[in-house]
């Protein structure tokens, strides 16, 4: 578990579901494409989220009127298990960045595949924290 993941776990006890956040995901197909590059005609499917993501917006962020958008890169193994999650574009707030990490770590994923064979890959998720005060 890396430093941000440990910090996110510690932050979990201080967060509540409060406020609004929009989550959209965009698969990074590079790992699957790299594997399939030498095989013309191989169908490539990007990694994707199973079900819905639920974001817990920290009360501190809501009260302080914080808002921003964080992009988190999630690395998956061939089974869809998260092997790493890191902020690749900060929201400008460490509190919101940690909440974004927590959001993506709580989700389930289907791995990328090349020719119906699951492969490890990366998955970028954009979490937009909008202040509705």
Asked whether the beta carbons of 52 and 104 are under 8 A apart, the reply is no
Which carries the bigger pLDDT value, residue 11 or residue 126? Answer: 126
pLDDT tens sequence across 6-59: 433 333 322 223 334 445 444 444 444 444 444 556 677 888 888 887 777 888
How much is the average pLDDT of 113-129? Answer: 89
Question: pLDDT-based confidence at 60, cuts 50/70/90?
Answer: confident
Average pLDDT, the chain: 74
Which structure tokens are listed for 34?
């790299």
Pairing type for strands 68-76 and 82-89 reads antiparallel
Torsion angle, alpha carbons of 6, 131, 54, 30, to 10: -70
Least confident of 20-29, 82-91, 95-104: 20-29
How much is the average pLDDT of 111-132? Answer: 86
Domains observed in the chain: 3-130 (3.30.2420.10)
Residues 6+ away with beta carbon under 8 Å from 120: 31, 75, 76, 77, 78, 83, 111, 112
Give the sign of the dihedral formed by CA 33, CA 37, CA 39, CA 40: positive
Q: Does 104 have pLDDT greater than 60?
A: yes
């Amino acid at each position: 578990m890396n430093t941000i993941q440990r910090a996110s776990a510690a932050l979990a006890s201080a967060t509540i579901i409060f406020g609004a956040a929009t989550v959209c995901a965009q698969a990074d197909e590079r790992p699957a494409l790299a594997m399939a590059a030498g095989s013309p005609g191989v169908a490539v499917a990007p990694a994707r989220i199973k079900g819905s993501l639920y974001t817990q917006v920290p009360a501190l962020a809501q009260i302080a009127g914080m808002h921003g958008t964080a992009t988190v890169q999630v690395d998956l193994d061939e089974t869809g298990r998260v092997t790493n999650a890191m902020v690749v574009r900060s929201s400008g707030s460490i509190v919101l960045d940690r909440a974004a990490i927590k959001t993506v770590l709580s989700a389930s994923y289907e791995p990328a595949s090349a020719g119906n064979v699951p492969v490890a890959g990366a998955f970028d998720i954009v979490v937009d924290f909008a202040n509705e005060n």
